[in-house]
């Protein structure tokens, strides 16, 4: 047995004495193990930089020659401003020190000096935070120094020294926790090496590799806890074990007008497996726009209906409900499966009829909006609930619907790994299936960001597509919090476009129209009786008209990235080359970055990542309500994919019988024991 560093008090590290153990305790550190796990949150880069290559506002380290006499101004006894002219990379630079008057005598004309500070490009000022005179003390030049979160009497410098000391004394005893197979699988370095490099990386690259290893470890252990807990609690068999007719489902899939992608097949297999188990499925299906989630859901609904249960498909808008109802009807017709629509715009009588049919089991699949979950809706035997674009639904809405059935299985589909998705993944109460590939033959959508003065050319572009037999969407500016202005915009743009294309039918769609009107326009568009559809964002999610190849978005900088990506996903659904033109005059950096992200990539996962980055995770995680776990080193947003890998690895591991008994997993079981997984009922 290796020495357990988590049992050695931190005062055993040389130099940790007096009040220091107490101060460390305030940071949550009482043992050597905890000290070594106290990672820096960034590195200070003391590599020498070339002034011609740095940006305004950068924190940099440069070497220069003093070329003028220092000037000192005192404000009172301690406050001061010291300046000195320097020659750095052929530039005359003014170095500025605040409250370091004592440095004045050390600044000698003609001598070299290394300064670290914040660079002001305009004024050629460097506001110095650290100065190094050649030949004095230990040099930091060319190194990376860890920056820790410190407080009280614990200074950055002391922490760096103490960490170094702890590594010297105990670094060799750091034990591996991850099984070798996982290290090999991801090419991760040993824990011993990772901890050392994390605190003292030679290069940024080394620091990042060390971080990668520790991120994986942290997320893996987190997921292992979750998965072990699930495994130990899996006898709660209060769900439906659907008696599936698998050959029947296979025949249904074979009869589709296309072959499923490998991803779709795999995901469907995961769902079918879950449906047959006696516990409740709670699965998240995520895939980029156009990845083909709907048909997977359809096959799952088919399977459940064939097993004698009813299904429900809940979507955020009436247009979508209508569209899904039509496509499900088309798919299910040969099998005599009854599909009904339940939306807010049914007449009282229609509604009563649908409700009756649901309750008596005359309807097999109900498609609807929020109307599906009102109090008076009852199913005879609800076996599966699918929600599309789940971020439009609140968690409790889903649970209301769930309570109406006999613990139905739940499949949630989303095109964006949104924060709640992160949360759900993090808490592990959902299994995640991901469609990673798009159906074959899809050509990446060509995206252009243009300014408003190019409108003429954009209209010419639309004309070219429409004359070639294709269709186009034109999305109107979004005026926050004013549907009325949105509508007015749409009406104006519609008039403008119709004027430009007298020979084509230009449709108009907005939120103030009656549902029946909207449906009519959508039907006309999907049947190519309307060639150009001018719309507000009611169009946004899920609409599927494969002949449309052009998406034009006015004032694109006003839309969020995920929203733009969703909009773009309305085209590129057929075999024709598709285009997305974003008309925007972004005033700020975020707007510019959004346009850049859109033209850079077609990958929804990458878009979602950049979206979160631009909005700043603080927007989501800063608030208490998120309740997300605090990771020491992993980042919920940027490390999301690692989280998913870790989850799969952990889930696979607890399924192996050797995990619970084998010697190779002793460290991991020890970890679970420390986390009270074996005795506690509730996991925090
Ligand atoms: P999303 O994942 O965005 O909901 P959809 O389910 O609307 O995507 O599918 C997008 C389009 O791709 C639809 O027209 C659908 O019929 C088509 N599709 C789905 N799966 C395949 C496939 N395996 N091969 C070809 N086309 C497919
Ligand atoms: Mg969809």
Measured in Å, residue 323 CA sits from the centre of ligand 2 at: 10
Under 8 Å between Cβ of 228 and 677: yes
Task: Give the pLDDT mean for 378-396.
Answer: 74
Q: Which atom of ligand 1 is nearest to the CA of 293?
A: 2
Give the residue with greater pLDDT, 401 vs 444. 444
Task: Give the pLDDT mean for 546-565.
Answer: 89
Reported as a single tens digit per residue, the pLDDT across 102-134 is 889 889 899 989 898 999 988 999 999 888 887
CATH 3.30.870.10 at 246-435, yes or no = no
- Please tell me whether residue 134 adopts helix, strand or coil conformation: coil
The rounded distance, in Å, linking the Cα atoms of 257 and 259 is 7
- pTM reported for the whole predicted model: 0.62
Reported as a single tens digit per residue, the pLDDT across 589-637 is 878 889 999 999 998 878 877 877 776 443 433 322 233 456 778 877 6
Is pLDDT of 515 > 80? Answer: no
Return the bridge partners of 42, or none: 147
Question: Is there a common fold for 246-435 and 446-624?
Answer: yes
Reported as a single tens digit per residue, the pLDDT across 427-441 is 566 778 888 888 887
Q: How confident is the model at residue 234 (pLDDT cuts 50, 70, 90)?
A: low
Domain at 47-142, CATH homologous superfamily? Nucleic acid-binding proteins (2.40.50.140)
Task: Give the pLDDT mean for 521-549.
Answer: 85
Does ligand 1 come within 6 angstroms of the Cβ of 544?
yes
Amino acid 406: pLDDT: 64
Reported as a single tens digit per residue, the pLDDT across 447-480 is 999 998 898 999 999 999 999 999 999 998 766 5
Is pLDDT of 67 > 80? Answer: yes
Amino acid 297: pLDDT: 96
Domain boundaries, the chain: 47-142, 176-233+656-684, 246-435, 446-624
- Please tell me whether residue 417 adopts helix, strand or coil conformation: coil
Ligand nearest to the CA of 315: 2
Q: Which atom of ligand 1 is nearest to the CA of 441?
A: 25
Measured in Å, residue 619 CA sits from the centre of ligand 2 at: 27
Q: How confident is the model at residue 143 (pLDDT cuts 50, 70, 90)?
A: confident
Q: How confident is the model at residue 233 (pLDDT cuts 50, 70, 90)?
A: low
- Give me the DSSP letters along 525-557: HHTTSSSEEEE-GGGTTT---TTEEEEEETTGG
Of 23-27, 285-289, 624-628, which range is least confident? 624-628
Dihedral, CA of residue 452, residue 455, residue 456 and residue 459, to nearest 10: 170
φ, ψ at 39 (rounded to 5°):
-85, 150
Does ligand 1 come within 6 angstroms of the Cβ of 268?
no
Does ligand 1 come within 6 angstroms of the Cβ of 415?
yes
Amino acid 470: pLDDT: 96
Task: Give the pLDDT mean for 354-362.
Answer: 95
Amino acid 184: pLDDT: 96
Give the residue with greater pLDDT, 680 vs 76. 76
In percent, the amount of the chain with pLDDT more than 70 equals 88
Q: How confident is the model at residue 577 (pLDDT cuts 50, 70, 90)?
A: very high
Is pLDDT of 194 > 80? Answer: yes
| Chain centroid offset of residue 206 CA | 26
Give the Cα-Cα-Cα angle 391, 395, 399 (nearest 5 degrees): 130
Amino acid 210: pLDDT: 93
Reported as a single tens digit per residue, the pLDDT across 246-272 is 999 999 999 999 999 999 999 999 999
CATH 3.40.50.300 at 446-624, yes or no = yes
Task: Give the pLDDT mean for 222-234.
Answer: 77
Report long-range pairs for 634-637 (Cβ below 8 Å, ≥24 apart).
634/215, 634/218, 634/219, 635/215, 636/422, 636/426, 637/422, 637/609, 637/612, 637/613
Measured in Å, residue 641 CA sits from the centre of ligand 2 at: 22
Q: How confident is the model at residue 573 (pLDDT cuts 50, 70, 90)?
A: confident
Q: How confident is the model at residue 395 (pLDDT cuts 50, 70, 90)?
A: very low
């Amino acid at each position: 047995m290796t020495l357990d560093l988590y049992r050695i008090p931190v005062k055993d590290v040389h130099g940790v004495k007096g009040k220091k153990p107490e101060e460390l305790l305030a940071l949550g550190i009482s043992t050597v193990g905890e000290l070594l796990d106290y990672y820096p949150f960034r590195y200070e880069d003391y590599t020498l930089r070339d002034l011609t290559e740095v940006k305004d506002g950068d924190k940099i380290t440069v070497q220069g020659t003093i070329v003028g006499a220092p000037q000192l101004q005192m404000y009172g006894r301690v406050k001061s401003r010291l300046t000195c002219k320097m020659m750095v990379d052929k530039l005359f630079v003014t170095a500025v020190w605040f409250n370091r008057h004592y440095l004045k005598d050390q600044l000698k004309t003609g001598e070299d000096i290394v300064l670290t500070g914040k660079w002001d490009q305009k004024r050629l000022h460097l506001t110095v935070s650290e100065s190094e005179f050649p030949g004095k003390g230990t040099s930091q030049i060319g190194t990376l120094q860890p920056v820790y979160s410190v407080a009280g009497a614990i200074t950055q410098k002391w922490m760096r020294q103490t960490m170094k000391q702890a590594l010297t004394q105990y670094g060799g005893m750091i034990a591996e926790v991850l099984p070798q197979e996982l290290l090999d699988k991801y090419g991760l370095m040993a824990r011993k090496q990772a901890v050392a490099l994390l605190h003292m990386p030679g290069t940024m690259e080394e620091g990042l590799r060390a971080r990668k290893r520790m991120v994986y470890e942290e997320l893996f252990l987190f997921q292992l806890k979750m998965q072990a807990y699930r495994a130990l609690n899996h006898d709660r068999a209060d769900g439906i074990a659907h008696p599936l007719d698998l050959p029947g489902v296979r025949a249904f899939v074979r009869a589709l007008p296309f072959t499923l992608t490998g991803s779709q097949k795999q995901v469907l297999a995961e769902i079918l497996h879950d449906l047959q188990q006696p516990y409740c499925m709670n699965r998240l299906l995520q895939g980029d726009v156009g990845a083909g989630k709907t048909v997977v859901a359809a096959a799952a609904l088919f399977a459940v209906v064939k097993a004698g249960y009813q299904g429900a498909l809940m979507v955020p808008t009436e247009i979508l409900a209508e569209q899904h109802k039509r496509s499900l009807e088309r798919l299910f017709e040969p099998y005599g499966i009854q599909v009904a629509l339940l939306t807010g715009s049914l007449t009282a009588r229609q509604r009563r009829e649908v409700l009756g049919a649901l309750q008596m089991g005359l309807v097999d699949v109900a498609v609807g909006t929020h109307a599906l979950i009102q109090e008076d809706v009852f199913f005879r035997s609800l076996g599966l609930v699918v929600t599309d674009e789940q971020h439009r639904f609140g968690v409790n809405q889903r649970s209301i619907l769930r309570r109406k059935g006999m613990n139905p299985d739940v499949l949630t589909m989303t095109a964006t790994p949104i924060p709640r998705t992160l949360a759900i993944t993090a808490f592990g109460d959902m299994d995640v299936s991901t469609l990673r590939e798009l159906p074959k033959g899809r050509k990446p959508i060509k995206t252009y960001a243009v300014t408003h003065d190019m409108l003429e050319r954009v209209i010419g572009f639309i004309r070219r597509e429409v004359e070639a037999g294709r269709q186009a969407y034109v999305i109107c500016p979004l005026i926050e919090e004013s549907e009325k202005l949105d509508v007015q915009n749409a009406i104006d743009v519609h008039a403008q476009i119709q004027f430009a294309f007298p020979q084509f039918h230009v449709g108009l769609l907005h939120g103030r129209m009656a549902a029946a009107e909207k449906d009519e326009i959508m039907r006309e568009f999907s049947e190519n009786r309307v060639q150009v559809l001018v719309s507000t964002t009611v169009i946004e999610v899920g609409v599927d008209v494969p002949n449309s190849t052009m998406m034009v978005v006015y004032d694109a900088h006003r839309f969020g990235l995920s929203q733009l990506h969703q909009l773009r996903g309305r085209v590129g659904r057929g075999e024709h080359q598709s285009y997305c033109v974003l008309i925007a005059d972004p005033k700020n950096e975020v707007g510019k970055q959004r346009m850049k992200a859109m033209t850079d990539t077609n990958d929804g996962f990458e878009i979602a990542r950049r979206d979160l980055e631009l909005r700043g995770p603080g927007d989501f995680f800063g608030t208490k309500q998120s309740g997300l776990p605090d990771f020491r080193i992993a980042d919920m947003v940027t490390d999301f994919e690692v989280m998913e890998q870790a989850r799969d690895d952990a889930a696979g591991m607890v399924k192996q019988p050797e995990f619970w008994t084998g010697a190779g997993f002793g460290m991991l079981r020890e970890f679970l024991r420390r986390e009270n997984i074996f005795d506690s009922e509730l996991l925090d």
